[in-house]
Structure 1
Amino acid sequence: MALLAVATENISFGVGGVSIDDFPSAREAGKAAIQAAIDATGKKGTPKLVLITGSVGHEEELLAGIEDVIGKDVPVLGGSAGDNTITGEWKQFANENVYSNGISVTAIYTNLKIGWAYEAGYIRSKNRGTVTRADGRIIYEIDNRPAAEIYNGWTGGTVVAEKRETGGSILSDTSYYPLAKIIKN
Protein backbone atom coordinates (compact mmCIF):
# COMPACT_ATOMS: atom_id res chain seq x y z
CA MET A 1 0.00 0.00 0.00
CA ALA A 2 1.20 3.52 -0.78
CA LEU A 3 -0.06 6.68 0.85
CA LEU A 4 0.48 10.29 -0.15
CA ALA A 5 -0.24 13.13 2.27
CA VAL A 6 -0.16 16.76 1.15
CA ALA A 7 -1.40 19.82 3.01
CA THR A 8 -1.53 23.05 1.01
CA GLU A 9 -3.96 25.66 -0.22
CA ASN A 10 -2.23 25.66 -3.63
CA ILE A 11 -3.40 22.24 -4.76
CA SER A 12 -6.89 20.76 -5.03
CA PHE A 13 -7.31 16.99 -4.99
CA GLY A 14 -10.41 15.05 -5.91
CA VAL A 15 -10.78 11.30 -5.56
CA GLY A 16 -13.20 9.17 -7.54
CA GLY A 17 -13.64 5.44 -7.60
CA VAL A 18 -16.05 2.93 -9.03
CA SER A 19 -16.51 -0.81 -9.40
CA ILE A 20 -15.96 -1.89 -12.99
CA ASP A 21 -18.71 -4.46 -12.45
CA ASP A 22 -21.27 -1.64 -12.19
CA PHE A 23 -20.66 -0.51 -15.79
CA PRO A 24 -21.13 -2.05 -19.24
CA SER A 25 -17.38 -1.74 -19.89
CA ALA A 26 -14.12 -0.78 -18.19
CA ARG A 27 -13.99 2.25 -20.48
CA GLU A 28 -17.28 3.52 -19.06
CA ALA A 29 -15.97 2.87 -15.55
CA GLY A 30 -12.87 4.94 -16.36
CA LYS A 31 -15.07 7.81 -17.54
CA ALA A 32 -17.20 7.69 -14.41
CA ALA A 33 -14.20 7.52 -12.06
CA ILE A 34 -12.38 10.50 -13.56
CA GLN A 35 -15.58 12.53 -13.67
CA ALA A 36 -16.23 11.74 -10.01
CA ALA A 37 -12.67 12.83 -9.16
CA ILE A 38 -13.08 16.07 -11.10
CA ASP A 39 -16.44 16.75 -9.47
CA ALA A 40 -14.91 16.16 -6.02
CA THR A 41 -12.46 19.04 -6.58
CA GLY A 42 -15.19 21.54 -7.39
CA LYS A 43 -12.94 22.86 -10.19
CA LYS A 44 -13.69 23.50 -13.85
CA GLY A 45 -11.59 22.36 -16.79
CA THR A 46 -9.08 19.56 -16.96
CA PRO A 47 -6.80 18.59 -14.09
CA LYS A 48 -3.06 19.19 -14.29
CA LEU A 49 -2.22 15.61 -13.27
CA VAL A 50 -4.12 12.36 -12.68
CA LEU A 51 -3.14 9.41 -10.48
CA ILE A 52 -4.72 5.99 -11.06
CA THR A 53 -4.87 2.50 -9.61
CA GLY A 54 -6.93 0.03 -11.61
CA SER A 55 -7.72 -3.66 -11.63
CA VAL A 56 -5.48 -6.00 -13.57
CA GLY A 57 -6.69 -6.79 -17.07
CA HIS A 58 -8.59 -3.55 -17.63
CA GLU A 59 -5.75 -1.03 -17.87
CA GLU A 60 -6.08 -0.03 -21.52
CA GLU A 61 -9.84 0.42 -21.39
CA LEU A 62 -9.72 2.36 -18.12
CA LEU A 63 -7.15 4.72 -19.62
CA ALA A 64 -9.24 5.11 -22.77
CA GLY A 65 -12.23 6.15 -20.65
CA ILE A 66 -10.14 8.68 -18.74
CA GLU A 67 -8.82 10.05 -22.03
CA ASP A 68 -12.39 10.39 -23.33
CA VAL A 69 -13.02 12.87 -20.50
CA ILE A 70 -9.73 14.78 -20.10
CA GLY A 71 -8.01 14.32 -23.47
CA LYS A 72 -4.47 13.21 -24.26
CA ASP A 73 -2.51 16.15 -22.83
CA VAL A 74 -2.91 15.46 -19.09
CA PRO A 75 -0.27 13.15 -17.58
CA VAL A 76 -1.82 10.01 -16.05
CA LEU A 77 0.49 8.21 -13.62
CA GLY A 78 -0.04 5.03 -11.65
CA GLY A 79 -0.52 1.39 -12.35
CA SER A 80 -2.36 -1.79 -11.67
CA ALA A 81 -3.35 -3.04 -8.26
CA GLY A 82 -1.58 -6.19 -7.15
CA ASP A 83 -1.30 -8.75 -4.40
CA ASN A 84 1.53 -10.90 -3.13
CA THR A 85 0.43 -14.10 -4.85
CA ILE A 86 -1.16 -12.85 -8.09
CA THR A 87 -4.40 -14.58 -7.14
CA GLY A 88 -6.79 -11.69 -7.67
CA GLU A 89 -6.93 -10.51 -4.07
CA TRP A 90 -6.00 -6.94 -5.06
CA LYS A 91 -8.06 -3.99 -3.91
CA GLN A 92 -8.61 -0.38 -4.89
CA PHE A 93 -9.51 2.28 -2.33
CA ALA A 94 -11.44 5.46 -3.07
CA ASN A 95 -12.92 7.67 -0.39
CA GLU A 96 -14.81 5.30 1.94
CA ASN A 97 -15.10 2.48 -0.61
CA VAL A 98 -13.01 -0.62 -1.28
CA TYR A 99 -13.24 -2.37 -4.65
CA SER A 100 -12.03 -5.79 -5.79
CA ASN A 101 -12.50 -5.03 -9.48
CA GLY A 102 -12.41 -1.29 -9.66
CA ILE A 103 -10.58 1.92 -10.35
CA SER A 104 -9.41 4.67 -8.03
CA VAL A 105 -8.51 8.03 -9.58
CA THR A 106 -7.15 11.27 -8.14
CA ALA A 107 -7.54 14.49 -10.14
CA ILE A 108 -5.03 17.18 -9.19
CA TYR A 109 -5.56 20.87 -9.92
CA THR A 110 -2.95 23.54 -9.23
CA ASN A 111 -1.44 26.69 -10.65
CA LEU A 112 1.96 25.49 -9.48
CA LYS A 113 4.40 24.00 -11.96
CA ILE A 114 4.28 20.20 -11.91
CA GLY A 115 7.22 18.09 -12.93
CA TRP A 116 7.22 14.35 -13.38
CA ALA A 117 9.40 11.65 -14.90
CA TYR A 118 8.96 8.01 -15.79
CA GLU A 119 11.64 5.35 -15.65
CA ALA A 120 10.61 1.79 -16.37
CA GLY A 121 13.87 0.08 -15.57
CA TYR A 122 13.52 -2.21 -18.58
CA ILE A 123 15.96 -2.53 -21.44
CA ARG A 124 14.69 -2.90 -24.98
CA SER A 125 15.34 -6.34 -26.42
CA LYS A 126 16.35 -7.20 -29.96
CA ASN A 127 13.69 -9.95 -29.96
CA ARG A 128 10.74 -9.27 -32.23
CA GLY A 129 7.61 -11.19 -33.08
CA THR A 130 4.02 -10.82 -34.16
CA VAL A 131 1.17 -12.17 -32.07
CA THR A 132 -0.64 -14.51 -34.44
CA ARG A 133 -3.19 -16.00 -32.03
CA ALA A 134 -4.57 -14.50 -28.84
CA ASP A 135 -7.73 -14.24 -26.80
CA GLY A 136 -7.94 -10.96 -24.92
CA ARG A 137 -4.70 -10.66 -22.97
CA ILE A 138 -3.71 -14.32 -23.36
CA ILE A 139 -1.15 -14.89 -26.12
CA TYR A 140 -1.19 -18.39 -27.60
CA GLU A 141 1.07 -17.95 -30.62
CA ILE A 142 3.84 -15.63 -31.74
CA ASP A 143 4.87 -15.91 -35.39
CA ASN A 144 2.58 -18.97 -35.71
CA ARG A 145 4.51 -20.88 -33.03
CA PRO A 146 3.55 -21.59 -29.39
CA ALA A 147 4.01 -18.36 -27.44
CA ALA A 148 5.59 -20.13 -24.45
CA GLU A 149 8.23 -21.67 -26.72
CA ILE A 150 9.11 -18.30 -28.27
CA TYR A 151 9.05 -16.44 -24.95
CA ASN A 152 11.14 -19.13 -23.27
CA GLY A 153 13.76 -18.71 -25.99
CA TRP A 154 13.74 -14.93 -25.65
CA THR A 155 14.40 -15.19 -21.90
CA GLY A 156 17.11 -17.83 -22.24
CA GLY A 157 14.90 -20.44 -20.60
CA THR A 158 14.88 -18.59 -17.28
CA VAL A 159 11.19 -17.79 -17.00
CA VAL A 160 8.64 -20.24 -18.32
CA ALA A 161 10.55 -23.46 -19.03
CA GLU A 162 8.81 -25.47 -16.30
CA LYS A 163 5.35 -24.05 -16.93
CA ARG A 164 5.55 -24.88 -20.64
CA GLU A 165 4.84 -28.44 -19.58
CA THR A 166 2.66 -27.96 -16.50
CA GLY A 167 0.70 -24.84 -17.47
CA GLY A 168 -0.44 -22.15 -15.08
CA SER A 169 -0.11 -18.42 -14.68
CA ILE A 170 3.21 -16.84 -15.57
CA LEU A 171 2.23 -13.30 -14.57
CA SER A 172 4.59 -12.98 -11.59
CA ASP A 173 7.36 -14.91 -13.38
CA THR A 174 7.32 -12.52 -16.33
CA SER A 175 7.35 -9.22 -14.47
CA TYR A 176 11.04 -8.66 -15.22
CA TYR A 177 10.66 -9.70 -18.86
CA PRO A 178 7.59 -7.84 -20.12
CA LEU A 179 6.34 -7.93 -23.67
CA ALA A 180 5.60 -4.59 -25.28
CA LYS A 181 3.44 -3.60 -28.17
CA ILE A 182 4.32 -0.88 -30.62
CA ILE A 183 1.68 1.81 -30.81
CA LYS A 184 1.76 3.88 -33.97
CA ASN A 185 0.30 7.37 -33.84
Structure 2
Amino acid sequence: MKTHVVTGSSPAMAVERLATCLPPQTAPRLVFAFYGEAADDEGLHHCLAQRWPGLPVLGGSSAGGVMSQDGLADHHQIGLMGLEDPGGDYGVAAGPLEGDPQACATALLLEAMDQAGCAGELPALVWIYQEPGSEEAVLAGLRRVLGDRCPIVGGSAADNAVAGRWRQLGPQGPLRGGLAVAVLYPTAAVRVVFQGGHEPTGQSGVVTGVGGSTGRRLGAQPGAPMQGRELLTIDGKPAAEVYNQWLDGALQPQLDGGGVILAQTALHPLAVKVGQVHGLPHYLLVHPESVTPGHTLRTFCDLRVGDRLQAMRGDRGRLVFRAGRVAAQARAALPAGQTLAGALIVYCGGCRMAVGEEVASVVQALRQRLGPVPFLGCFTFGEQGWLLDRNVHGNLMVAAVVFGAEELVR
Protein backbone atom coordinates (compact mmCIF):
# COMPACT_ATOMS: atom_id res chain seq x y z
CA MET A 1 0.00 0.00 0.00
CA LYS A 2 1.24 3.50 -0.86
CA THR A 3 -0.19 6.96 -0.30
CA HIS A 4 0.43 10.00 -2.48
CA VAL A 5 -0.41 13.56 -1.34
CA VAL A 6 -0.33 16.60 -3.62
CA THR A 7 -1.64 20.16 -3.54
CA GLY A 8 -2.53 22.50 -6.38
CA SER A 9 -3.98 25.94 -7.04
CA SER A 10 -6.36 24.57 -9.69
CA PRO A 11 -8.25 21.29 -10.16
CA ALA A 12 -6.29 20.41 -13.30
CA MET A 13 -2.96 21.05 -11.57
CA ALA A 14 -3.86 18.97 -8.49
CA VAL A 15 -5.13 16.01 -10.53
CA GLU A 16 -2.14 16.10 -12.89
CA ARG A 17 0.27 16.14 -9.95
CA LEU A 18 -1.47 13.12 -8.43
CA ALA A 19 -1.40 11.27 -11.74
CA THR A 20 2.37 11.77 -12.07
CA CYS A 21 2.89 10.09 -8.67
CA LEU A 22 1.32 6.85 -9.89
CA PRO A 23 2.80 4.15 -12.13
CA PRO A 24 1.69 4.42 -15.78
CA GLN A 25 -1.86 3.23 -16.48
CA THR A 26 -2.55 3.01 -12.73
CA ALA A 27 -5.59 4.56 -11.03
CA PRO A 28 -5.80 5.25 -7.29
CA ARG A 29 -8.18 2.99 -5.41
CA LEU A 30 -9.53 5.90 -3.35
CA VAL A 31 -8.96 9.66 -3.30
CA PHE A 32 -9.47 12.00 -0.35
CA ALA A 33 -9.97 15.60 -1.50
CA PHE A 34 -9.98 18.60 0.86
CA TYR A 35 -9.87 22.25 -0.14
CA GLY A 36 -10.50 25.82 0.94
CA GLU A 37 -13.91 27.40 0.48
CA ALA A 38 -12.77 29.38 -2.60
CA ALA A 39 -11.59 26.28 -4.49
CA ASP A 40 -13.42 25.06 -7.61
CA ASP A 41 -14.82 21.72 -6.45
CA GLU A 42 -17.10 21.41 -9.49
CA GLY A 43 -14.00 21.62 -11.65
CA LEU A 44 -12.22 19.15 -9.39
CA HIS A 45 -15.03 16.63 -9.78
CA HIS A 46 -14.91 17.05 -13.56
CA CYS A 47 -11.10 16.59 -13.71
CA LEU A 48 -11.11 13.51 -11.47
CA ALA A 49 -13.99 11.90 -13.38
CA GLN A 50 -12.31 12.59 -16.70
CA ARG A 51 -8.96 11.19 -15.59
CA TRP A 52 -10.32 8.16 -13.65
CA PRO A 53 -13.98 7.38 -14.44
CA GLY A 54 -15.83 5.77 -11.55
CA LEU A 55 -13.14 6.68 -9.03
CA PRO A 56 -14.24 6.54 -5.34
CA VAL A 57 -13.65 10.07 -4.02
CA LEU A 58 -14.61 11.72 -0.74
CA GLY A 59 -13.92 15.09 0.84
CA GLY A 60 -15.11 18.65 1.09
CA SER A 61 -14.29 22.17 2.20
CA SER A 62 -11.90 22.89 5.06
CA ALA A 63 -11.52 26.05 7.18
CA GLY A 64 -8.84 28.29 5.70
CA GLY A 65 -7.36 25.64 3.42
CA VAL A 66 -5.49 22.39 4.07
CA MET A 67 -2.12 21.17 5.36
CA SER A 68 0.24 18.54 4.01
CA GLN A 69 3.85 17.44 4.17
CA ASP A 70 4.56 20.42 1.89
CA GLY A 71 3.12 22.96 4.34
CA LEU A 72 -0.03 25.06 4.55
CA ALA A 73 -2.22 25.65 1.50
CA ASP A 74 -4.62 28.61 1.53
CA HIS A 75 -8.38 28.72 0.92
CA HIS A 76 -7.92 28.68 -2.88
CA GLN A 77 -5.91 25.47 -2.79
CA ILE A 78 -6.83 21.79 -3.23
CA GLY A 79 -5.21 18.86 -1.42
CA LEU A 80 -5.50 15.28 -2.70
CA MET A 81 -4.48 11.99 -1.14
CA GLY A 82 -4.54 8.97 -3.41
CA LEU A 83 -4.28 5.40 -2.08
CA GLU A 84 -2.40 2.94 -4.28
CA ASP A 85 -3.45 -0.50 -3.04
CA PRO A 86 -4.16 -3.09 -5.78
CA GLY A 87 -5.24 -5.75 -3.27
CA GLY A 88 -7.55 -3.53 -1.23
CA ASP A 89 -11.24 -2.76 -1.62
CA TYR A 90 -12.78 0.70 -1.28
CA GLY A 91 -16.20 2.24 -1.77
CA VAL A 92 -17.80 5.66 -1.40
CA ALA A 93 -21.42 6.81 -1.38
CA ALA A 94 -22.74 10.34 -0.89
CA GLY A 95 -26.09 12.07 -0.79
CA PRO A 96 -28.20 14.74 0.90
CA LEU A 97 -29.04 14.53 4.60
CA GLU A 98 -32.75 15.07 4.12
CA GLY A 99 -35.56 14.16 6.49
CA ASP A 100 -34.03 11.47 8.68
CA PRO A 101 -30.21 11.81 8.93
CA GLN A 102 -29.96 8.52 10.80
CA ALA A 103 -31.70 6.58 8.01
CA CYS A 104 -29.69 8.44 5.35
CA ALA A 105 -26.41 7.46 7.03
CA THR A 106 -27.43 3.81 7.19
CA ALA A 107 -28.42 3.76 3.53
CA LEU A 108 -25.20 5.46 2.37
CA LEU A 109 -23.05 3.08 4.41
CA LEU A 110 -24.71 0.04 2.84
CA GLU A 111 -24.32 1.60 -0.62
CA ALA A 112 -20.62 2.24 -0.01
CA MET A 113 -20.11 -1.37 1.08
CA ASP A 114 -21.82 -2.52 -2.12
CA GLN A 115 -19.61 -0.20 -4.18
CA ALA A 116 -16.57 -1.80 -2.56
CA GLY A 117 -17.88 -5.29 -3.36
CA CYS A 118 -17.86 -6.10 0.35
CA ALA A 119 -21.53 -6.15 1.38
CA GLY A 120 -21.85 -7.63 4.86
CA GLU A 121 -18.12 -7.39 5.64
CA LEU A 122 -16.79 -5.23 8.48
CA PRO A 123 -14.47 -2.49 7.16
CA ALA A 124 -11.14 -1.69 8.74
CA LEU A 125 -12.19 1.98 8.77
CA VAL A 126 -15.19 4.14 7.89
CA TRP A 127 -14.43 7.74 6.95
CA ILE A 128 -17.20 10.36 6.87
CA TYR A 129 -17.46 14.02 5.87
CA GLN A 130 -20.74 15.84 6.38
CA GLU A 131 -22.83 18.94 6.87
CA PRO A 132 -22.47 20.28 10.44
CA GLY A 133 -25.50 19.84 12.68
CA SER A 134 -26.59 16.20 12.74
CA GLU A 135 -23.38 14.38 13.62
CA GLU A 136 -24.84 12.33 16.48
CA ALA A 137 -27.73 11.14 14.30
CA VAL A 138 -25.31 10.15 11.52
CA LEU A 139 -23.20 8.13 13.94
CA ALA A 140 -26.34 6.43 15.26
CA GLY A 141 -27.26 5.46 11.70
CA LEU A 142 -23.83 3.98 11.06
CA ARG A 143 -23.96 2.06 14.34
CA ARG A 144 -27.16 0.34 13.21
CA VAL A 145 -24.93 -1.68 10.90
CA LEU A 146 -21.47 -1.54 12.48
CA GLY A 147 -22.00 -1.09 16.18
CA ASP A 148 -18.65 0.10 17.52
CA ARG A 149 -16.71 -2.79 15.99
CA CYS A 150 -14.60 -0.56 13.72
CA PRO A 151 -13.47 3.07 13.90
CA ILE A 152 -15.59 5.79 12.29
CA VAL A 153 -13.43 8.86 11.70
CA GLY A 154 -13.92 12.13 9.89
CA GLY A 155 -15.15 15.66 10.24
CA SER A 156 -17.83 18.20 9.60
CA ALA A 157 -17.17 20.40 6.56
CA ALA A 158 -16.05 23.94 7.33
CA ASP A 159 -15.53 27.39 5.80
CA ASN A 160 -13.53 30.45 6.77
CA ALA A 161 -16.04 32.32 8.96
CA VAL A 162 -18.83 29.92 10.05
CA ALA A 163 -20.99 31.43 7.31
CA GLY A 164 -22.48 28.23 5.90
CA ARG A 165 -20.30 28.12 2.78
CA TRP A 166 -19.13 24.58 3.52
CA ARG A 167 -19.55 21.75 1.00
CA GLN A 168 -19.06 18.00 0.80
CA LEU A 169 -17.66 16.03 -2.15
CA GLY A 170 -18.65 12.54 -3.33
CA PRO A 171 -18.39 10.46 -6.50
CA GLN A 172 -21.25 12.42 -8.15
CA GLY A 173 -19.77 15.83 -7.34
CA PRO A 174 -20.09 18.56 -4.68
CA LEU A 175 -22.97 18.62 -2.19
CA ARG A 176 -24.47 21.14 0.21
CA GLY A 177 -26.23 19.70 3.22
CA GLY A 178 -24.91 16.22 2.50
CA LEU A 179 -22.92 13.27 3.80
CA ALA A 180 -20.16 11.26 2.13
CA VAL A 181 -19.22 7.83 3.51
CA ALA A 182 -16.13 5.82 2.57
CA VAL A 183 -15.45 2.21 3.59
CA LEU A 184 -11.86 0.97 3.56
CA TYR A 185 -10.70 -2.64 3.32
CA PRO A 186 -6.94 -2.10 2.85
CA THR A 187 -4.22 -4.73 2.55
CA ALA A 188 -2.19 -3.13 5.35
CA ALA A 189 -3.04 -1.96 8.85
CA VAL A 190 -4.93 1.22 9.74
CA ARG A 191 -4.58 2.79 13.19
CA VAL A 192 -6.56 5.68 14.73
CA VAL A 193 -6.00 8.03 17.68
CA PHE A 194 -8.59 10.68 18.69
CA GLN A 195 -7.88 13.22 21.46
CA GLY A 196 -8.40 16.71 22.76
CA GLY A 197 -5.76 19.08 24.11
CA HIS A 198 -7.42 20.64 27.17
CA GLU A 199 -7.51 19.87 30.89
CA PRO A 200 -10.20 20.42 33.56
CA THR A 201 -10.14 23.54 35.75
CA GLY A 202 -12.02 21.89 38.61
CA GLN A 203 -15.27 23.82 38.03
CA SER A 204 -18.25 21.74 37.03
CA GLY A 205 -22.03 21.57 37.00
CA VAL A 206 -24.88 19.32 35.90
CA VAL A 207 -26.96 19.97 32.78
CA THR A 208 -30.52 20.57 34.00
CA GLY A 209 -32.14 21.87 30.81
CA VAL A 210 -31.64 21.60 27.05
CA GLY A 211 -34.06 22.64 24.36
CA GLY A 212 -34.64 25.17 21.66
CA SER A 213 -35.00 24.04 18.07
CA THR A 214 -32.49 21.22 18.61
CA GLY A 215 -34.06 19.71 21.71
CA ARG A 216 -35.37 16.14 21.50
CA ARG A 217 -35.83 13.12 23.70
CA LEU A 218 -33.15 10.44 23.94
CA GLY A 219 -35.41 7.49 23.13
CA ALA A 220 -39.08 7.00 22.50
CA GLN A 221 -40.31 6.91 26.11
CA PRO A 222 -42.05 10.08 27.38
CA GLY A 223 -39.76 10.20 30.42
CA ALA A 224 -36.53 9.80 28.44
CA PRO A 225 -33.95 12.56 29.05
CA MET A 226 -33.73 15.50 26.67
CA GLN A 227 -30.70 16.13 24.50
CA GLY A 228 -29.82 18.93 22.11
CA ARG A 229 -27.46 21.76 21.21
CA GLU A 230 -29.05 24.62 23.14
CA LEU A 231 -27.96 24.46 26.76
CA LEU A 232 -30.63 26.14 28.87
CA THR A 233 -29.52 25.65 32.46
CA ILE A 234 -26.62 24.34 34.53
CA ASP A 235 -27.50 23.41 38.11
CA GLY A 236 -30.86 25.10 37.51
CA LYS A 237 -29.32 28.48 36.60
CA PRO A 238 -29.09 30.16 33.16
CA ALA A 239 -26.28 28.33 31.39
CA ALA A 240 -24.52 31.39 29.96
CA GLU A 241 -24.43 33.08 33.36
CA VAL A 242 -22.83 30.02 34.98
CA TYR A 243 -20.33 29.67 32.16
CA ASN A 244 -19.49 33.39 32.37
CA GLN A 245 -18.68 32.95 36.06
CA TRP A 246 -16.39 30.05 35.21
CA LEU A 247 -14.61 32.31 32.69
CA ASP A 248 -14.26 35.20 35.19
CA GLY A 249 -16.65 37.47 33.31
CA ALA A 250 -15.14 37.09 29.82
CA LEU A 251 -18.61 36.71 28.26
CA GLN A 252 -20.21 39.81 29.79
CA PRO A 253 -20.49 41.68 26.43
CA GLN A 254 -22.46 38.76 24.97
CA LEU A 255 -24.64 38.45 28.08
CA ASP A 256 -25.76 42.02 27.49
CA GLY A 257 -27.29 41.17 24.10
CA GLY A 258 -26.21 37.79 22.79
CA GLY A 259 -23.51 37.00 20.25
CA VAL A 260 -20.91 34.61 18.93
CA ILE A 261 -18.29 33.43 21.44
CA LEU A 262 -16.12 31.10 19.36
CA ALA A 263 -12.90 33.04 19.89
CA GLN A 264 -13.40 33.45 23.63
CA THR A 265 -14.16 29.76 24.23
CA ALA A 266 -11.71 27.84 22.00
CA LEU A 267 -9.19 27.73 24.84
CA HIS A 268 -11.90 27.44 27.52
CA PRO A 269 -14.51 24.90 26.31
CA LEU A 270 -16.81 22.58 28.18
CA ALA A 271 -16.41 18.81 28.34
CA VAL A 272 -18.07 15.59 29.44
CA LYS A 273 -15.96 12.83 31.00
CA VAL A 274 -16.33 9.64 28.97
CA GLY A 275 -14.13 7.28 30.99
CA GLN A 276 -10.57 6.68 32.06
CA VAL A 277 -7.61 4.48 31.21
CA HIS A 278 -5.02 3.56 33.86
CA GLY A 279 -6.53 6.22 36.11
CA LEU A 280 -6.22 8.95 33.47
CA PRO A 281 -9.61 10.56 32.66
CA HIS A 282 -10.66 11.12 29.04
CA TYR A 283 -12.97 13.96 28.02
CA LEU A 284 -15.15 14.72 25.02
CA LEU A 285 -14.91 18.45 24.33
CA VAL A 286 -17.92 20.69 23.61
CA HIS A 287 -17.35 24.07 21.94
CA PRO A 288 -19.95 26.76 22.83
CA GLU A 289 -20.79 28.75 19.73
CA SER A 290 -22.93 31.65 20.95
CA VAL A 291 -24.89 33.22 23.79
CA THR A 292 -28.58 33.89 23.13
CA PRO A 293 -30.48 36.94 24.42
CA GLY A 294 -32.13 34.55 26.90
CA HIS A 295 -28.73 33.67 28.40
CA THR A 296 -28.67 30.15 26.99
CA LEU A 297 -25.67 28.63 25.19
CA ARG A 298 -25.65 27.16 21.69
CA THR A 299 -23.00 24.48 21.13
CA PHE A 300 -21.54 22.41 18.29
CA CYS A 301 -22.23 19.14 20.10
CA ASP A 302 -25.28 17.47 21.66
CA LEU A 303 -25.67 17.57 25.44
CA ARG A 304 -28.22 15.73 27.51
CA VAL A 305 -29.94 16.42 30.80
CA GLY A 306 -27.92 14.82 33.58
CA ASP A 307 -24.50 15.25 31.94
CA ARG A 308 -21.87 16.65 34.28
CA LEU A 309 -20.07 19.45 32.48
CA GLN A 310 -16.45 20.24 33.24
CA ALA A 311 -14.92 23.63 32.59
CA MET A 312 -11.72 23.09 30.60
CA ARG A 313 -8.64 25.12 29.79
CA GLY A 314 -5.96 24.91 27.16
CA ASP A 315 -3.11 26.95 25.79
CA ARG A 316 -1.79 27.60 22.33
CA GLY A 317 1.36 25.60 22.87
CA ARG A 318 -0.59 22.48 23.81
CA LEU A 319 -2.88 22.89 20.78
CA VAL A 320 0.07 23.41 18.45
CA PHE A 321 1.87 20.23 19.45
CA ARG A 322 -1.18 18.01 20.10
CA ALA A 323 -1.54 16.97 16.45
CA GLY A 324 2.05 15.75 16.34
CA ARG A 325 1.64 13.76 19.55
CA VAL A 326 -1.59 12.17 18.34
CA ALA A 327 0.04 11.24 15.02
CA ALA A 328 3.03 9.74 16.85
CA GLN A 329 0.75 7.59 19.01
CA ALA A 330 -1.08 6.31 15.95
CA ARG A 331 2.20 5.57 14.20
CA ALA A 332 3.52 3.66 17.23
CA ALA A 333 0.40 1.45 17.17
CA LEU A 334 1.21 -0.02 13.73
CA PRO A 335 2.00 -3.74 13.98
CA ALA A 336 5.53 -5.06 13.77
CA GLY A 337 6.62 -5.59 10.20
CA GLN A 338 4.73 -2.61 8.82
CA THR A 339 6.16 0.81 8.04
CA LEU A 340 4.24 4.08 7.80
CA ALA A 341 2.79 4.74 4.34
CA GLY A 342 0.98 8.00 5.13
CA ALA A 343 -1.56 9.74 7.35
CA LEU A 344 -4.80 11.68 7.37
CA ILE A 345 -5.20 14.37 10.03
CA VAL A 346 -8.42 16.00 11.24
CA TYR A 347 -7.71 19.22 13.16
CA CYS A 348 -10.53 21.31 14.58
CA GLY A 349 -11.14 24.61 12.77
CA GLY A 350 -11.76 26.27 16.14
CA CYS A 351 -8.32 25.14 17.31
CA ARG A 352 -6.84 26.53 14.11
CA MET A 353 -8.44 29.90 14.86
CA ALA A 354 -7.13 29.74 18.43
CA VAL A 355 -3.49 29.09 17.46
CA GLY A 356 -3.55 31.79 14.76
CA GLU A 357 -0.28 32.15 12.86
CA GLU A 358 1.21 29.33 14.90
CA VAL A 359 -0.71 26.87 12.70
CA ALA A 360 2.51 26.62 10.68
CA SER A 361 4.07 25.02 13.77
CA VAL A 362 1.27 22.43 13.77
CA VAL A 363 2.48 21.33 10.34
CA GLN A 364 6.09 21.28 11.52
CA ALA A 365 5.16 19.13 14.54
CA LEU A 366 3.43 16.65 12.23
CA ARG A 367 6.48 16.50 9.96
CA GLN A 368 8.74 15.78 12.93
CA ARG A 369 6.53 13.02 14.32
CA LEU A 370 5.57 11.36 11.03
CA GLY A 371 8.90 11.63 9.25
CA PRO A 372 9.27 11.90 5.47
CA VAL A 373 5.89 10.43 4.52
CA PRO A 374 2.85 12.00 2.83
CA PHE A 375 0.03 13.36 4.98
CA LEU A 376 -3.08 15.43 4.34
CA GLY A 377 -4.94 17.43 6.97
CA CYS A 378 -8.31 19.20 7.01
CA PHE A 379 -9.71 21.79 9.44
CA THR A 380 -13.26 20.96 10.49
CA PHE A 381 -16.25 22.30 12.46
CA GLY A 382 -16.82 19.03 14.31
CA GLU A 383 -14.74 15.89 14.64
CA GLN A 384 -15.70 12.23 14.69
CA GLY A 385 -13.43 9.51 16.04
CA TRP A 386 -12.76 6.42 18.12
CA LEU A 387 -12.48 7.13 21.86
CA LEU A 388 -12.37 4.40 24.51
CA ASP A 389 -13.73 1.79 22.08
CA ARG A 390 -16.68 3.94 21.04
CA ASN A 391 -17.29 6.17 18.02
CA VAL A 392 -18.19 9.68 19.15
CA HIS A 393 -18.63 13.24 17.90
CA GLY A 394 -16.79 16.04 19.66
CA ASN A 395 -15.39 19.53 19.22
CA LEU A 396 -11.86 20.96 19.41
CA MET A 397 -10.48 17.47 18.82
CA VAL A 398 -7.63 16.01 16.76
CA ALA A 399 -7.79 12.71 14.89
CA ALA A 400 -4.90 10.90 13.22
CA VAL A 401 -5.38 7.96 10.86
CA VAL A 402 -2.17 6.23 9.76
CA PHE A 403 -1.83 3.69 6.98
CA GLY A 404 0.72 0.91 7.13
CA ALA A 405 2.72 -0.81 4.41
CA GLU A 406 4.35 -4.22 4.49
CA GLU A 407 8.11 -4.03 4.81
CA LEU A 408 9.95 -5.59 1.89
CA VAL A 409 12.13 -8.57 2.82
CA ARG A 410 15.22 -8.79 0.63
Return the TM-score normalized by structure 2: 0.41
**Contact between 1:53 and 1:79, CA under 8 Å: does it hold in 2?**
yes
Q: Offset at 1:9?
A: 1.2
Where do 5+ consecutive residues of structure 1 fail to align?
none
The verdict on how the C-alpha distance between 1:5 and 1:140 changes in structure 2, with shifts beyond 3 A counting, is same
The verdict on how the C-alpha distance between 1:118 and 1:99 changes in structure 2, with shifts beyond 3 A counting, is same
Counterpart residue number, 1:181: 272
Equivalent position SS for 1:82: coil
Counterpart residue number, 2:246: 154
CA-to-partner distance for each residue in 1:17-75, whole Å, 9 max, x for gaps? 12112xx3111111122122212111131111011112212010000001111221110
Equivalent position SS for 2:200: coil
**Structure 2 counterparts to residues 1-185 of structure 1, below 5 A:** 1=35, 3-21=80-98, 24-44=99-119, 45-135=121-211, 136=214, 137-158=229-250, 160-171=251-262, 173-182=264-273
The verdict on how the C-alpha distance between 1:18 and 1:148 changes in structure 2, with shifts beyond 3 A counting, is same
**Contact between 2:85 and 2:186, CA under 8 Å: does it hold in 1?**
no
Q: Offset at 1:173?
A: 4.5
Determine the C-alpha separation between the residues in 2 that align with 1:141 and 1:77.
31
The number of aligned residues is 182
Equivalent position SS for 1:56: coil
**Contact between 1:55 and 1:81, CA under 8 Å: does it hold in 2?**
yes
Determine the C-alpha separation between the residues in 2 that align with 1:173 and 1:96.
39
**Contact between 2:109 and 2:142, CA under 8 Å: does it hold in 1?**
yes
Q: Please, what is the CA RMSD of the aligned residues?
A: 2.2
Larger radius of gyration: 2
**Contact between 1:37 and 1:105, CA under 8 Å: does it hold in 2?**
yes
Where do 5+ consecutive residues of structure 2 fail to align?
1-34, 36-65, 67-79, 215-228, 276-389, 391-410
The verdict on how the C-alpha distance between 1:174 and 1:95 changes in structure 2, with shifts beyond 3 A counting, is farther
Structure richer in strand, relative to its length: 2
Determine the C-alpha separation between the residues in 1 that align with 2:268 and 2:104.
30
**Contact between 2:126 and 2:184, CA under 8 Å: does it hold in 1?**
yes
Equivalent position SS for 1:103: strand
Larger RCO: 1 or 2 (CA < 8 Å, sep 6+): 1
Equivalent position SS for 1:60: helix
